[in-house]
């Protein structure tokens, strides 16, 4: 009955086997793929393709019982035990060999199956745990360091190891960077450990992707992220595209869910271009200590269309039928435990019918991005090595993105390693680390006509995570036309700048060289002596055809609107529409057409104006520039040709 119901709901592909190692190999070397052969064939006969998952996130008990030493070790020295998932260390050579062995067996068995079209590697790598302190991790970290530095003298220099007598005589002396033993570890040691964690998990995945690609070149490969301590720019090099698992129910406040999910989509698109959603929330997800709110009527469909509005080219709702046992028996799917279709199935079928009807107009298009917030794995990790209680790049990235999203501008996330071509303005949120390559590309961006907007502490460290000796912003001083003469943290509400814009937890005193002053620091609220009042807080510097704006504080919830106003006063970005803050508007563009997505994240009806004239594809009705959407409603508008020139 399931294939028929799936087809009726518009399903064309399913995903399976991510935790099925013990089912496929109940005893070492005794493989049984019959359940999957039967299921894949039955689905295929109904016209439904399958993507399989390598089941390495949940190794079977016979394997872990044989090799307790393969289990992860936490920072307290406790070794993990069987009974959950992700308990085996992906850096242990023995477990890697076993992971590649089961991948090889699956790839060989399914290589000729015409209904298997792709694969997902593992499942949510680093979802629960990234750091491991086992012997295998220590040894592999030493090998990684030896490969990077070549000599122990170079490592000592790169880490500034003389501080606290941390110099090493050999790589074998180096341990993993434990926190608070008895105090803080070396920041450069931590930075390299973060890089190692990412490189190591990329290497683990590569062992699987090589096998799968060799077994059947027509298979496409993906993974379901996004989680901490992985440089997904590198990670995605071994994939055809990345995936992101989206559960808006993890966000407590309903009003904030849409920007959270939008940002997740953007972070994925930024490293992968096109992407899919291997897991989209279908019901109330719950485990032992929590239960999400059940999506309200219309929300499940809304969330699915939101991912498409941000560039997704495929969606898998998790899950089809709610499981009746195990740790996720309240992780609710399209169908409940009794397998009876109800409102969520009906909504799912509506979504499927709509995507089937207009999907061909969507495929081949990509998100229009004219204003971008830069993202960089290393900047986020560098902040974590020395947080100082100050706002992180990732936190400021979220605030800047949310502010521009709420203004219905063509906004996106761009990875710092990518091209900046086609983007009109870039926001770099406290990128502490800077090198010649990134500095040169930012300089070229501005000289070619772009607007660059940076916040405090930008370009103050090198790639070794050392503070630079040159006056900040170091390699970008000429571009911004300033030097930073002093910085510090602030007591709450002590300082404001310009028209009483709140300072975001810190201040910098800027000394203009070639820049002009756009805002100065005000007197302190308590009238106490302070060096900042009267000094430059925001500066503007013209370079070539563009402009570099420097803000001597951090983005915060309180100042984000005012600081983004400064940026937008220097760039003529046109909103895609006029609507409430809880209405989301994006544009996907192809070679010859544009699609405007309007999504109402409120439970009540809303009106959107300033839209292009064209056809609303879901209803088949003409759009005259104004549209009313019901609570959690969606519209997809294909404008006339005149709209294209407005969005270039």
Q: Taking the mean position of all CA atoms in its chain, how far away is CA 520? A: 35
Quick one: which of 432, 428, 452 has its CA closest to 390? 432
Distance of CA 132 to the CA centre of its chain: 23
pLDDT in tens, 544-587: 999 999 999 999 999 999 999 999 999 989 999 999 999 999 99
CA 209 vs CA 222, 262, 273, 381: distances in Å: 9, 28, 19, 26
For residue 214, give Cα distances in angstroms to 53, 123, 217, 528.
16, 21, 6, 69
**Angular region, 505: left φ>0, alpha ψ -120 to 50, beta rest:** left
3-state helix vs strand vs coil in the chain, percent to 5: 35, 25, 45
- Which residues of the chain, if any, have pLDDT below 70? 1, 642-648
Helix H segments across 111-177? 135-149, 152-159
Residue of 124, 351, 403, 508 marked active site: 124
How many angstroms separate the CA atoms of 203 and 364, rounded? Answer: 31
Residue 436 has a pLDDT of 98
φ, ψ of residue 58 to 5 degrees: the values are -140, 75
125 and 90 Cβ atoms separated by less than 8 Å: yes
Are 587 and 576 in contact, with CB atoms under 8 Å apart? Answer: yes
- CA angle, 377 then 381 then 387, to 5°: 140
Exactly one of 100, 266, 279, 616 is catalytic; name it. Answer: 279
Which of 425, 427, 423 lies closest to 368 in space, CA to CA?
423
Question: 237: closest CA among 261, 264, 210, 219?
Answer: 210
Which residues, 6+ apart, have CB-to-CB distance to 336 below 8 Å? 283, 322, 342
Question: Which of 67, 71, 66, 60 is closest to 26 using CA atoms?
Answer: 60
**Which ranges constitute the DSSP H helices of 273-392?**
299-309, 343-362, 377-385
58 alpha-carbon distance from chain centroid: 24
Cis peptide bond prior to 226, omega within 30° of 0:
yes
Beta strand 425-428 pairing with 371-375: parallel
Report pLDDT for 1.
63
Would you say 56 and 102 are in contact if contact means Cβ atoms under 8 Å apart?
A: yes
Element (H, E) at 622: strand 621-623
Domain 1-133+190-240, architecture per CATH? Alpha-Beta Barrel (3.20)
Task: List the beta bridge partners of residue 598.
Answer: 585, 635
State yes or no: is 254 an active-site residue: no
d(CA 283, CA 464): 45
85-117 per-position pLDDT tens digit = 999 999 999 999 999 999 999 999 999 999 999
Do 359 and 315 form a contact (C-beta atoms < 8 A)? Answer: no
Terminus-to-terminus CA distance in the chain, angstroms?
49
Residue length, the chain? 648
Q: Which residues 6+ apart lie within 8 Å of 255 measured at CB?
A: 582, 601
* Count of C-beta atoms within a 10 Å radius of residue 486: 13
Give the pLDDT of residue 319.
Answer: 95
Q: Which of 263, 277, 187 is nearest to 224 (CA)?
A: 277
| Overall fold of domain 371-568 | Rossmann fold (3.40.50)
Count Cβ neighbours within 10 Å for each residue of 450-474 and write b for 16 or more, e otherwise.
Answer: bbbbbbbbbbbbbbebbebeeebbb
Express each pLDDT in 309-357 by its tens digit: 999 999 999 999 999 999 999 999 999 999 999 999 999 999 999 999 9
Distance CA(201)–CA(235), nearest Å, equals 8
Residue 493 is predicted with a pLDDT of 77
Distances (CA, A) of 540 to 124, 164, 502, 503: 43, 41, 19, 18
What's the pLDDT score for residue 158? 98
Neighbours of 425 (CB within 10 A): 25
Q: Are 532 and 576 in contact (CB under 8 A)?
A: no
* DSSP class of 334: S
Q: How far apart are CA 281 and CA 284, in angstroms?
A: 8
* Residue 381 is among the residues annotated as catalytic for this protein: no
* pTM over 0.85, yes/no: yes
Q: Which residues contact 593 (CB under 8 A, 6 or more apart)?
A: 361, 365, 638
CA distances for 140 relative to 59, 144, 633, angstroms: 21, 6, 51
| Domain segments of the chain as ranges | 1-133+190-240, 246-360, 371-568, 583-646
What is the C-alpha to C-alpha distance for residues 609 and 601, in angstroms, rounded to an integer?
16
The residues near 19 (Cβ < 8 Å, ≥ 6 apart) are 55, 57, 58, 85, 123
Under a CB-based contact definition with an 8 Å cutoff, are residues 606 and 599 in contact? no
The CATH architecture annotation of domain 583-646 reads Sandwich (2.60)
């Amino acid at each position: 009955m399931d294939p028929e119901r799936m087809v009726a709901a518009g399903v064309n592909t399913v995903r399976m086997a991510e935790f099925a190692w013990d089912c496929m190999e109940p005893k070492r070397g005794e493989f049984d793929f019959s359940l999957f052969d039967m299921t894949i064939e039955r689905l295929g006969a109904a016209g439904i393709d399958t993507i399989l998952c390598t089941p390495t996130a949940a190794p079977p008990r016979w394997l872990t019982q044989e090799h307790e030493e393969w289990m992860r070790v936490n920072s307290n020295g406790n070794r993990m035990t069987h009974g959950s998932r992700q308990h085996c260390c992906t850096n242990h050579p023995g477990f890697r060999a076993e992971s590649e062995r089961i991948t090889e067996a699956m790839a060989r068995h399914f290589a000729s199956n015409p209904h298997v079209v792709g694969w997902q590697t593992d499942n949510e790598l680093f979802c629960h745990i990234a750091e491991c302190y086992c012997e295998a991790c220590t040894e592999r970290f030493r090998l990684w360091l030896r490969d990077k530095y070549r000599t122990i003298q170079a490592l000592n220099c790169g880490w500034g190891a003389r501080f606290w007598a941390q110099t090493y005589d050999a790589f074998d002396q180096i341990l993993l960077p434990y926190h608070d033993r008895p105090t803080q570890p070396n920041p450069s040691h931590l930075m390299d450990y973060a890089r190692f964690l990412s490189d190591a998990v990329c290497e683990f995945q590569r062992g699987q992707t090589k096998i799968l690609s060799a077994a059947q070149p027509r298979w496409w490969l993906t993974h379901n992220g996004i989680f901490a301590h992985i440089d997904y720019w590198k990670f995605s090099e071994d994939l055809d595209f990345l995936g992101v698992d989206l559960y808006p129910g993890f966000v407590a406040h309903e009003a904030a869910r849409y920007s959270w999910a939008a940002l997740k989509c953007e972070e994925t698109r930024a490293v992968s271009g096109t992407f899919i959603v291997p897991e989209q929330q279908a019901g109330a997800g719950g485990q032992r200590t929590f239960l999400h709110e059940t999506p309200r009527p219309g929300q499940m469909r809304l969330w699915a269309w939101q991912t498409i509005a941000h560039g997704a080219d495929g969606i898998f709702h998790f899950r089809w039928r709610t499981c009746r046992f195990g740790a996720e028996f309240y992780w609710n799917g399209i169908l409940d435990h009794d397998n009876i279709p109800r409102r969520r199935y009906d909504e799912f079928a509506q979504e499927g019918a709509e995507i089937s009807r207009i999907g061909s107009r969507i495929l081949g298009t990509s998100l229009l991005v004219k204003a971008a917030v830069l993202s960089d794995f290393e900047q986020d990790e560098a902040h974590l090595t020395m947080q100082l209680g100050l706002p992180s790049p990732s936190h400021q990235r979220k605030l800047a993105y949310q502010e521009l999203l709420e203004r219905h501008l063509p906004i996106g996330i761009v990875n710092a390693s990518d091209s900046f071509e086609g983007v009109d303005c870039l926001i770099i949120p406290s990128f502490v680390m800077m090198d010649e390559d990134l500095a040169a590309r930012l300089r070229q961006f501005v000289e070619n006509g772009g607007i660059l907007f940076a916040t405090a502490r930008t370009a103050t460290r090198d790639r070794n995570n050392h503070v630079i000796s040159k006056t900040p912003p170091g390699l970008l001083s000429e571009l911004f036309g300033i030097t930073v003469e002093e910085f510090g943290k602030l007591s709450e509400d002590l300082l404001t700048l310009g028209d009483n814009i709140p300072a975001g937890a810190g201040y910098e005193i800027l000394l203009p060289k070639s820049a002009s002053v756009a805002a100065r620091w005000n007197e302190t609220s308590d009238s106490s002596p302070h060096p900042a009042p009267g000094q430059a807080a925001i500066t503007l510097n013209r370079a070539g055809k563009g402009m570099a704006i420097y803000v001597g504080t951090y983005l915060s919830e309180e100042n984000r609107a005012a600081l983004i106003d400064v940026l937008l006063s220097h760039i003529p970005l046109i909103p895609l529409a006029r609507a409430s803050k809880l209405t989301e508007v994006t544009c996907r563009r192809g070679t010859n057409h544009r699609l405007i997505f309007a999504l109402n994240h409120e439970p009540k009806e809303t009106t959107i104006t300033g839209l292009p004239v064209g056809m609303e594809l879901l209803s088949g009705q003409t759009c005259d520039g104004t549209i009313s959407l019901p609570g959690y409603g969606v519209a997809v508008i294909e404008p006339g040709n005149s709209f294209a020139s407005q969005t270039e």
